[in-house]
A = this chain, B = another copy of it.
């Protein structure tokens, strides 16, 4: 595990062995699936991998209404004529970029179906609208992520799809490293960063039904408010308690936990 951050990936201070495995898989032409809780740093990890592979990164946030055309491209009428415009996936395949499908379990199955020929040894993308087969350029890599906790029954990925990816589970940074990140990104002093991370760890461990684990991003947001002059208590409330709770009972449990950590009084 390394704590060195390259200038291209200043944030992600972690999990060197995982990063190595992902890089190897990408280099062998294997697609990679990352699983883990919301906000544990999957997106940042992918950016770090792309920097290490020295390839551009194309990110697609998946959702219910993402169509195959949104990935592949479409015909547009320009000047009375028709021009094909590549979608982000086609661009990545053609240019040998890293393509990252964030929250892939949210996508519709028909949209995922266009990936099949990319994910076996054909390694090509078929554009049914133009009849073109686009072979993956050298350097092309496909990564995807989903959160096993939040998946619903309707959205469960099919085994035949999951078996097309090697799969790593990712989790939060170790506390000391997360505190360094919070300090670095927000400009707060070490003790504030440490107190916020300590609170986050307590919240993530909590087994209270309605409490959601806070992301590193949220800690940075709360810390930013402190750095900008808000009192710690206000910043924690606005930046941590409120975004995590929508019900009174949960807010009370949160308060109690955070008071135990000394960030609320």
A residues near B (Cβ < 8 Å) are: 17, 21, 24-25, 27-28, 30, 33, 35, 38-39, 43, 59, 61-66, 68, 70, 74-82, 85-88, 91, 102-103, 106, 108-110, 112-114, 116-117, 120, 128-131, 147-148, 150-151, 156, 158-160, 162-169, 212, 214-215, 217-218, 221-222, 224-225, 228-230, 234, 238-239, 242-244, 246-247
Contacts and interface: CB of A to CB of B under 8 A. Distances in A.
A30 B224 contact: yes
Contact of A238 (B70, B167, B239): B167
Given A128-B87, A215-B163, A242-B35, A110 B30 contact: no
Question: Which of A30, A68, A163, A218 is most buried by chain B, counting CB atoms within 10 A of its CB?
Answer: A163
Given A110-B66, A168-B242, A217 B163 contact: yes
Contacts of A165: 243
Contacts of A86: 131
Contacts of A106: 109
A242 B169 contact: yes
Contacts of A246: 35, 148, 151, 156, 162
Given A162-B246, A166-B222, 6 more contacts: A21-B225, A24-B229, A30-B221, A30-B225, A163-B217, A166-B239
A187 to B, nearest CB: 10
Contacts of A167: 238-239, 242-243
A116 B131 contact: no
A108 B65 contact: yes
A61 to B, nearest CB: 5
